[in-house]
Amino acid sequence: MFHSCGQTQYLKKFPFQKVQLGIEIFLKLLRLGLVSGPFMGAIIDYYFGYQYIFYILGGIFFLSILPTITFIPDDNKQIIKEKIQFQLEKWIISLSILLTMMATGTTFINPLFSIHMKQYGIKSYQASLILGTTSIIYIGSINFVPSLFKYFSKKTLLLVGISLGVVGVLLLAPVFILPQQWWVVFIALPFIGLSNSLCVVSSIPQYMEYMYKILPDPTLKQQIHDLTSGLFVSFYSLGNFIGPLFGGVLFDQLLNDSSSESQLEAFQYTCYVIGGIMFLSSIIYFVFGNILKTQKHKETLDASLVTSLQSYEDNHSENQNL
């Protein structure tokens, strides 16, 4: 709920041309919280005890209510006389599949990573620190991903992102030609972090572009932002749910015994299956995501969207000033 509502607040505060800046700020703060949360919890637990984690964080949440009420304005409640109806086109469905499979491929290792790294003689806390590399790469790469939109389409970056995810998962396995050493796993993690940032940062404005194509009415800007946030959060969260669940079940099914060799083999084939599903999702998006549309038509579409939205935003701003 917070993710969807918070993202919508950022989207509606930026004009259409600069909406990517709002997305970038929101994703940085969100991932920063996800990275600092376990670290803060460990410190509180060490010095004060386990129960104080909830006391202190609960107090911080409570104190955040006041600035939220004070500084975040109410939504402009626009009365829609007619019910908004639209059909989920194949572009949106294929993008949703890609986003779900990307999230699945980047989260299935979460419950398995420390177990897998034990086979290389690495302790659980060391494995947790190594796994944190993906979040560091994610936060760092968010800074330059929006600048790539000047040279590549969002659809291209989505395909590059999911492809990097496939490479990262296969390196995790690792593939047959590579040795089963811990440093190969360490090399794989930056690919997964880059895959996450490319797909997440590109998918939100791509959802918006698809929605404006289906509902080309600038007066529905708020509703389109709500739908965009809902679609993104729903399918991204679905992948975050499927990844650990499916990865854990598949690993257990492939595990023959508790020996080190059996665990390495089970993890390897789990990675093959996940990587294959991710690759299949990239093919689906390439076929149904309207990838081969000419660049000239895309630029014309974007220009018309920007013009109509900018005109609406200017008029809306003038009305509010009056």
Q: What is the mean pLDDT of the chain?
A: 77
Reply yes or no on whether the pLDDT at 165 is more than 50: yes
Q: What percent of the chain has pLDDT over 90?
A: 21
Selection from 38-47, 154-163, 288-297 with the highest mean pLDDT: 154-163
Tens digits of residue pLDDT in 267-292: 889 999 999 999 999 999 999 887 76
- Nearest-angstrom CA–CA distance, 161 and 167: 10
Q: Which two tokens stand for residue 228?
A: 């965009």
The pLDDT, as a whole number, for residue 126 is 78
Reply yes or no on whether the pLDDT at 141 is more than 70: yes
Q: Which two tokens stand for residue 199?
A: 């797909």
Cα radius of gyration (the chain): 22
Reply yes or no on whether the pLDDT at 306 is more than 70: no
Selection from 49-53, 107-111, 135-139, 309-313 with the highest mean pLDDT: 107-111
The pLDDT, as a whole number, for residue 223 is 75
The pLDDT, as a whole number, for residue 321 is 47
Tens digits of residue pLDDT in 195-226: 998 998 888 888 888 888 877 776 677 777 77
State if pTM tops 0.75: no
The pLDDT, as a whole number, for residue 225 is 76
- Nearest-angstrom CA–CA distance, 197 and 203: 10
Reply yes or no on whether the pLDDT at 142 is more than 90: no
Tens digits of residue pLDDT in 5-22: 665 666 666 665 566 666
pLDDT: which is higher, 70 or 252: 252
pLDDT: which is higher, 321 or 10: 10
Categorize the per-residue pLDDT at 85 as very low, low, confident or very high, splitting at 50, 70 and 90: low
Q: What is the 3-state secondary structure (H, E, C) of the chain?
A: CHHHHHHHHHHHCCCHHHHHHHHHHHHHHHHHHHHHHHHHHHHHHHHCCCHHHHHHHHHHHHHCHHHHHHHCCCCCCCCCCCCCCCCCCHHHHHHHHHHHHHHHHHHCCCCCHHHHHHCCCCCHHHHHHHHCHHHHHHHHHHCCCHHHHHCCCHHHHHHHHHHHHHHHHHHHCCCCCCCCCHHHHHHHHHHHHHHHHHHHHHHHHHHHHHHHHHCCCHHHHHHHHHHHHHHHHHHHHHHHHHHHHHHHHHHHHHCCCCCHHHHHHHHHHHHHHHHHHHHHHHHHHHHHCCCCCCHHHHHHHHHHHHHHHHHHHHHHHHHHHC
